Structure formats: structure tokens, C-alpha cells
Structure 1
């Protein structure tokens, strides 16, 4: 069986970076949601919260 150590490490690195990116996106969406709520736009707030929840659900799969 060939040694795929480098490929496995690269895959793990990419997966880790993707997870960190997803957390950053969730945090940014949360900030937008809070800003929208503070600005009086409850519909935009709810939409942002819904999308953030969708992103977080995908992350824990």
C-alpha cells in the first residue's frame, strides 16, 4: 500500500482551515444579525440568525 501521509496531512490541514473559516463566517453573520436587530430591522435579523443556524448545523455534521 502506498504511503499517503502527505496527502492525509494536506487533507487534514484543508479541513481545519475550512472549519475555521466557517466559524469566522458564523461570527460575522452573528454581528450582522445583532446590528440589524439594533437598527430596527427584525426581518433582516431573523434571516441572518436562520442562516447562521444553518451554517452551524452544517459544521457539526
Structure 2
């Protein structure tokens, strides 16, 4: 449900084990992404989430 940002965040958190490799290569990028969700602004929620997800994916992609 797009109107439920908590469901989006929970889905990401459930996927954390798939993102982090055994050597913890992506852990730092994920932790920064997770911290940014803690300060999630109420205004412009969709654009903020999109920006944070894209930033996280770019960081992960650059480390592959």
C-alpha cells in the first residue's frame, strides 16, 4: 500500500539480510540508509523516499 510508508520501510528492513554480504561489504551503506529513514520528514514523503532509495542503490552499485 503506497499510502503506508511504514510498510515500505518494513519491507526494506526484512530484505537487509539479502543486501549485506558475508563480509559486511554493504553494511555501511545500508546503515546510513537506515539512519536517514529515522529522520524521515512528513512533507514530500514520496520524493524523499525515492531520493534515499536511489542514493542507497547508487552507493551499493558503486561497490560491486
Instruction: Say yes or no: TM over 0.5.
Output: no
Interval containing the TM-score (normalised by the shorter chain):
0.3 to 0.5
TM-score normalised to structure 2 length: 0.40
| Between structures 1 and 2, the one with greater helix share | 1
TM-score normalised to structure 1 length: 0.41
Highest Rg: 1 or 2?
1
